[in-house]
Amino acid sequence: MKNILSFIILLLLITSCKQTTEQEKDVAKKNKTTEISFFTKDSLKIYGDLFETDKTAPTILLFHQGGANSRGEYHSVIPVLKEEGFNVLAIDQRLGGQRFGNYNRTVAEITRNTFGYCDAYPDLEAALNFVATNNLTGKK
């Protein structure tokens, strides 16, 4: 009886697993996600995620709140923006943490973080520069 029940559960799991269609593969390829990093003018390494749909599409830059991180704060917003055809660059600024879940990858690399809110301005400039130098030609 145990073996039959185990078999039925396994069969249900297998049949409920969705096969990836060619159309879904094309969408995933079109909406590629890349973990990126770049340096600011003051030589701080910034981490982020680039969600690219089309080089000519408008690009939205997302900057999290203090104490947060891009993945935690924007996990529900990014899929909507991608679906609407936007490229999205979301970065972890030098001031942040675990608010909204996940963790701030940039902050994790800083040995002694004495930065304040205004110190994050070079991060924003570097993000805009990253977009420009990676041939994302649509509106920002």
Residue 46 forms part of a structural domain? yes
pLDDT of the residue at 9 = 56
> Which pLDDT belongs to residue 45?
96
- Which residue spans within the chain are E strands per DSSP? 32-39, 45-52, 59-63, 87-92
The answer to the question of residue 12 being in a domain is no
Q: What is the pLDDT along the chain (140 residues), one digit of tens a residue?
A: 555 655 555 444 454 444 445 544 554 455 578 999 999 999 999 999 999 999 999 999 999 988 889 999 999 999 999 999 999 999 999 988 788 878 889 989 888 888 888 889 999 999 999 999 998 999 99
CB atoms within 10 A of CB 38: 17
- Per-residue pLDDT, 129: 96
CATH classification of the domain holding 115:
3.40.50.1820
Nearest Cα to 44, choosing from 116, 9, 94?
94
Residue 77 lies in a domain: yes
- Report the pLDDT value the prediction gives residue 102, as an integer from 0 to 100: 84
Q: By residue range, what is the domain housing residue 67?
A: 23-133
CB burial of residue 41 (10 Å; 0-12, 13-18, 19+): exposed
Strands laid side by side in the 32-39 sheet: 32-39, 45-52, 87-92, 59-63
119 found inside a domain: yes
Q: Which CA distances in Å does 139 have to 55, 57, 84, 86, 132?
A: 10, 7, 14, 10, 10
Domain membership of residue 105 (yes or no) is: yes
**2 part of a folded domain:** no
Query: Looking at the 3D structure of the chain, how many domains does it have?
Result: 1
* In-domain check, residue 86: yes
Has residue 14 been placed in a domain?
no
Compute φ and ψ for 19, nearest 5 degrees.
Answer: -80, 140
Which distant-in-sequence residues (6+ apart) come within 8 Å of 52 by Cβ?
A: 31, 32, 33, 34, 87, 136
**pTM above threshold 0.85:** no
